Structure 1
Amino acid sequence: MDQGAPQYYNSGLTPTPYMGWNTYYGLGAPTEDAVKGVADFLVSSGLRNAGYDIVWLDGGWQATPPRDTKGRLAADQTRFPHGIPSIVDYIHKRGLRAGIYTDAGAYDGGKSCGLGSGGYYERDAKQFAGWKFDAIKVDFLCGLAQKLDPGTAFGQFSAAVAKTGRKMLLNLCNPVTSEWGVPITPEQAANNNYIWGPTTGDSWRTYTDLAFGNPTPGEWANIVRAMDTNAWHPEANGPGHWNDADYLLPMRKLPDGSYELTEEESTTQLVMWAQMAGPLIIGSDPRTLPQSMLNTLKNPEIIAVDQDRLGIQGVRIQTSGVGDVYSKVLSGRGQRSVVLLNRNDTPSMISVDFTKAGLSGDVQIRDLRQRKDLGTFTGSYATTVPPHGTAMLKLSGTDYAPGADLGGDATASPALVRFSDTDAAAFTRAADGSVLMNTRKGANWAQQWTRLDGHRILGQPAAYGSAGGRIDLFVRGSDNAAYQRTFRNGQWGPWIWLGGDLTDAPTVAFTSPSSWTLFARGKDGQVWQRPSNAWWSSIGAPNGKPIYGRPSAVVDGNGPHVAVRTADDSVWIWENGAWAGLGGTISGSPAIVATLGRIYLFARASDYTLWQRNFSDGSWGGWFPRGEFPSNAFDGSLGAAAGDNGSAWVAFRGVDGRVHQVVL
């Protein structure tokens, strides 16, 4: 299904966010006995059965220097007298998985890192596989000191892991930010890890470390900071590739016996990490936690939100001086997890507007923290939230989408053709890959879809109407070639092969049935074009780097305009033979349509709402939101056609899997 996304990394190990425990914040430099003690506790306390099944050795496991005379990584013999294979075996025998730590840079004698795999990527990955580790954390401390590019270095390590033949979860930890006070390039900044992370590893850090090794007063501010920075790019998150906001730090004790985070603050971190569909790795020593905190960490209803199979990161849908409301789409029709977050130091009343959460009608509410039903409500719900606390709710209602419901069971974004307000057609992809067609004759759309025989397709169709009710349909076939099919004189003609080697669905700058140019993403990630009277050639891509997903094209008196999504999730446009950036942060392929001398550009934003930007009088205006679309009202991209009086008809696939159509 075309969602304007890259070929994501997929180890097959993390269809939902991984869970476990890491030694760094709880133990510092780990020892064999301490690790065994925590592993046993994960089992006896029920944390393992709740899902926390990784025991992860962070820095400090290694010898000094970290390699033996043969160049192999070696453990500290005092802390791990029986060696690493022995502790891995101990962990595995308890039904747990084992993780290990290294750095992307080369060891520099301990100035920047305690060990490093620089120059040894394949050898170290093979050694970790031989030790039967299930997960690897790769830091970037020596990587930064040696001025490496994190995307390149982590990509090389990822390739080395793939060569081992053993599946190992890959956590890429570049925590470098301007707060470090050292010179960094934009590529080295942690807030840009989302650009390369989804194609390189199972997870990547979204900002700097949450805390120091030892408990420190004032930690709540760091939790809020990590939460907010992790919210910047929810579009990068999903099954097999996860934003990592750092570890959970429940109730570490300060020297005076108080807690670095209160129990409510610790619960807020867990709730927000689950709401944002992130890895849940306990950083505290779980043996020190009160039973009430352990019970919260094991709460199956909170964990179920984190582990929902859709893997959609919850996004902010409301904000005020008091706090925020986050909504997350869950699997199943009309299901949302909603968190009311109080940032204040005093109890505060916070409410959720059901429409902004993408729901209509009566809504049933369940309190996930208290694990009890609250009843049925209409319009909104409000409750008092404790300071630095949360209310975590499950909402069950009816998915809201603007406009007419065309039904169907679409597996791709639709295409739309409009001849008049009473004569239109929509196309989408069925579950078996065939093309489905719906028609509007009069005031309403047909109540059922018609299946077109012939080719199975990949991604979003493209369709264009012209005089006499003619429709030209363009698709990507299952063989990755482009095909065209024409409807005229009341019947469909045969499929016509147009060639190409496409890696996403095509779009067309359509002037007439005899004059059009098809654009698509090629195997090299660049944009390729095929005019109606010539063969394929490349127009390149912004900065020569691969684009994401399906381009969108129109043609006017100035020639074709081609909009694309780039790896940093911004929009670029190809006009007058050159690329120019239009900004934005988007989560699906852009869609453009020409009407009354203007061009409208639509794109799903990172918070899953719809935004628009217009071209008129020779220049592009700014982005603005379309209030008709709440967060998560639709998936992917729009199908668009010109309407009367400068309007645009758009069709979209709702989160309910059905096709909808509205006039904007």
Structure 2
Amino acid sequence: MNFYLRRKFFAVVIFFFSCFALHAQDSLSKYILTPKESPSPKINGPKVFGVRPNHPILFTVPATGTRPMAFSADNLPKGITLDAKTGRLSGSISKPGEYILLLHAKNKLGETKRSFKIVVGETIALTPPMGWNSWNVYASKVTQELVAANARAMASSGLINHGWNYMNVDDVWQGKRGGEFGGIMSDSTTFPNMQALVDEVHNLGLKIGIYSTPWVESYGHHIGGSSQNPEGIFAKTTENVPRNKKQLPYAIGQYTFWDKDVKQWAKWGFDYLKYDWNPIEVPETKAMYDLLRASGRDVVFSLSNSTPFASIGELSKIANAWRTGGDIRDNWKSLKSRLLTQDKWAPYASPGHWNDPDMMIVGWVGWGKGPYPTHLTPDEQYSHMSAWCLQSVPLLLGNDLTKLDDFTLSLLTNDEVLAVNQDPLGKQATVVSKVDSCGVLAKDLEDGSKAAGLFNITDDITRRLSVKWSDLGIKGKYIVRDLWRQKDLGIFNEEFSADVPPHGVVMISLRKAKG
């Protein structure tokens, strides 16, 4: 095939792929439940924020509405400033304690205000982290430009205005050891200037995360935090060594360089660490926790993968999040295994410490072989998002943010659904009733109301599912609200029932009716 024919062939392929993608987007539009945003100002996101004494604060007030918008705050503590144009809080606070601010957002259509608590102490991540991770879309093909493009899309799409803020680089960013501290430097062919990437993400009002392992070699066959030689020189293995058996290179080497790596991450300015190995053990976790705590920055510390339940009592005290299982994929079998199965982990979840069933699989995913639209149906995606929010787990998107269609945006910008995830009480929903394979997840919220999800796990029939007041420990009349549609459904007494489609969910809140 000559050059002209090849070019014409690929042009036709791209044309038909684009038509397919547009058709897929149009076909999903009919499933949108989230109402359109109001042009009037509205403050969203978490109502509480944790920071350690004297550590830098980076927090962008999430607010929707027509721009330009002016931000202000009453009762700003000493050492903190709020940018009136961007809504970014910055600075540091030296004295431990709780500081109650009153945030204001104003545009040409009106003004709104909301209370916001800053807790200065030892606990960070007082609500589950919300953001993005590169693995489920790019896997080993991630680059600096791809991360930067997704960060820009996080901001320009408006996701940042709903509380999404972490941009996390997963495995294969690593190059050789070097630099000022002897830490791992970025691969110059794929991440030519890590400092520039961190600065760009921060300048967008977002935060950024990094990946590592205490092993000699990472899952993606890049340098880890230890070595068999004192220089830390790394060579990819050519042996077929089974993982998770404490055999090199998937084991901790004789010489460790964790302190050097942390110093390098702190210099760059990272805000999140995904620490990945198996089996996850307490000594290595505690060692990394201590190093991060001494780094001068608040770094969310997330453990991956398949945390041993036998150790969760100890691990949950020193980690901010921990994977409760293996890797997720974009199919119903993988998602179903995480929907009504997390109850045993619930006692260990609390503000600052979160169970993690893995990253999200909505939108355009790919694992380096795409991206392509997720194989989950719309109902399955609603179940996915509802369960993750009810269970108070980290919301880490695994999709291409430069390919956000209207349906995916509607999934990710429903502030009433997200508020269930970000509720300051930090309660994880548990199964309160089951009928066959279907079930109801429910949780308490800080304001005294309840949130629940009625999940139909069956494959082929719509089911009439109910949530009974006796299962929730309440009595009397309650107003039931459809959270996805942001619409009150009426006053109910003793129970609420709804028809739920196969693989689908009805997500509601219940608040006490007056009188």
TM-score range relative to shorter protein: 0.5 to 0.7
Amino acid at match of 1:104: P
Per-residue deviation, residues 397-445 of structure 1 (Å, max 9, x unmatched): 28xxxxxxxxxxxxxxxxxxxxxxxxxxxxxxxxxxxxxxxxxxxxxxx
1:370 aligns with 2:481: no
Equivalent-residue separation in structure 2 for 1:15 and 1:293 (angstroms): 26
Q: Out of 67, 72, 77, which is 2:183 matched to? A: 72
Equivalent-residue separation in structure 1 for 2:219 and 2:296 (angstroms): 33
Match of 2:439, SS state, is: strand
Please state how far the C-alpha of 1:295 moved relative to its aligned partner. Answer: 1.2
Structure 2 partner of 1:168: 299
User: What runs of 5+ residues in structure 2 fail to find an aligned partner?
Assistant: 1-120, 227-255
1:304/1:237 Cα in 2 relative to 1: closer, same or farther (>3 Å)?
same
2:340, 2:439 within 8 Å by CA — same for their partners in 1? no
Amino acid at match of 1:98: I
Match of 2:298, SS state, is: coil
Please state how far the C-alpha of 1:69 moved relative to its aligned partner. Answer: 11
Structure 1 partner of 2:200: 90
Q: CA RMSD for the aligned pairs? A: 2.3
Q: Out of 284, 295, 302, which is 1:153 matched to? A: 284
Per-residue deviation, residues 587-641 of structure 1 (Å, max 9, x unmatched): xxxxxxxxxxxxxxxxxxxxxxxxxxxxxxxxxxxxxxxxxxxxxxxxxxxxxxx
Percentage of matched positions with identical amino acids: 29
TM-score (norm: length of structure 2) = 0.66
Equivalent-residue separation in structure 1 for 2:379 and 2:189 (angstroms): 39
1:203, 1:244 within 8 Å by CA — same for their partners in 2? yes
Matches within 5 A, 1:114-125: 114-118=222-226, 119-125=256-262
Equivalent-residue separation in structure 2 for 1:285 and 1:112 (angstroms): 20
Please state how far the C-alpha of 1:322 moved relative to its aligned partner. Answer: 4.6
1:265 aligns with 2:396: no
Matches within 5 A, 1:128-143: 128-140=265-277
2:371, 2:400 within 8 Å by CA — same for their partners in 1? no
Amino acid at match of 1:341: F
Structure 2 partner of 1:186: none
Per-residue deviation, residues 493-545 of structure 1 (Å, max 9, x unmatched): xxxxxxxxxxxxxxxxxxxxxxxxxxxxxxxxxxxxxxxxxxxxxxxxxxxxx
Per-residue deviation, residues 279-332 of structure 1 (Å, max 9, x unmatched): 111011122342112111110000000000000000100001151011100012
Equivalent-residue separation in structure 1 for 2:412 and 2:219 (angstroms): 37
Structure 2 partner of 1:102: 212
Please state how far the C-alpha of 1:348 moved relative to its aligned partner. Answer: 1.1
Matches within 5 A, 1:385-396: 385-396=500-511
Match of 2:338, SS state, is: helix
Equivalent-residue separation in structure 1 for 2:379 and 2:178 (angstroms): 44
Bigger CA radius of gyration? 1
Match of 1:356, SS state, is: helix
Equivalent-residue separation in structure 2 for 1:349 and 1:248 (angstroms): 28
1:367/1:86 Cα in 2 relative to 1: closer, same or farther (>3 Å)?
same
Amino acid at match of 1:222: S
Per-residue deviation, residues 216-243 of structure 1 (Å, max 9, x unmatched): xxx2111121334433220100101111
Structure 2 partner of 1:397: 512
Q: Out of 453, 458, 462, which is 1:344 matched to? A: 458
2:363, 2:400 within 8 Å by CA — same for their partners in 1? no
Structure 1 partner of 2:136: 25
Equivalent-residue separation in structure 1 for 2:149 and 2:371 (angstroms): 25
2:125, 2:352 within 8 Å by CA — same for their partners in 1? yes
Match of 1:233, SS state, is: helix
Please state how far the C-alpha of 1:66 moved relative to its aligned partner. Answer: 5.6
Equivalent-residue separation in structure 2 for 1:19 and 1:68 (angstroms): 31
1:250, 1:263 within 8 Å by CA — same for their partners in 2? no
Structure 2 partner of 1:331: 446
Please state how far the C-alpha of 1:104 moved relative to its aligned partner. Answer: 2.1
Equivalent-residue separation in structure 1 for 2:371 and 2:173 (angstroms): 29
Match of 1:248, SS state, is: coil
Matches within 5 A, 1:165-204: 165-175=296-306, 190-204=308-322
Match of 1:387, SS state, is: coil
Please state how far the C-alpha of 1:168 moved relative to its aligned partner. Answer: 0.9
Please state how far the C-alpha of 1:70 moved relative to its aligned partner. Answer: 7.3
Structure 2 partner of 1:584: none
Count of aligned pairs: 360
Equivalent-residue separation in structure 1 for 2:293 and 2:492 (angstroms): 50
Structure 1 partner of 2:6: none
Equivalent-residue separation in structure 2 for 1:225 and 1:165 (angstroms): 39
2:172, 2:221 within 8 Å by CA — same for their partners in 1? no
1:174, 1:193 within 8 Å by CA — same for their partners in 2? no
Equivalent-residue separation in structure 1 for 2:371 and 2:219 (angstroms): 32
Equivalent-residue separation in structure 1 for 2:437 and 2:507 (angstroms): 16
* Structure with the largest fraction of strand: 1
Task: Give runs of ≥4 in structure 1 deviating > 4 Å.
Answer: 65-70, 110-113, 253-258
Matches within 5 A, 1:506-521: none
Equivalent-residue separation in structure 2 for 1:389 and 1:11 (angstroms): 40
Matches within 5 A, 1:285-364: 285-333=400-448, 335-345=449-459, 346-364=461-479
1:341, 1:385 within 8 Å by CA — same for their partners in 2? yes
1:16 aligns with 2:127: yes
Match of 1:27, SS state, is: helix
Matches within 5 A, 1:536-555: none
Amino acid at match of 2:420: V
Matches within 5 A, 1:467-616: none
Structure 2 partner of 1:220: 332
1:246 aligns with 2:358: yes
Please state how far the C-alpha of 1:54 moved relative to its aligned partner. Answer: 0.4
1:167/1:74 Cα in 2 relative to 1: closer, same or farther (>3 Å)?
same
1:235 aligns with 2:347: yes
Structure 2 partner of 1:627: none
Equivalent-residue separation in structure 2 for 1:386 and 1:153 (angstroms): 45
1:278/1:69 Cα in 2 relative to 1: closer, same or farther (>3 Å)?
closer
Amino acid at match of 1:154: T
Structure 1 partner of 2:3: none
Please state how far the C-alpha of 1:58 moved relative to its aligned partner. Answer: 0.5
**Which structure is higher in RCO with an 8 Å CA cutoff and minimum separation 6?**
2
1:322, 1:350 within 8 Å by CA — same for their partners in 2? no
Match of 1:364, SS state, is: strand
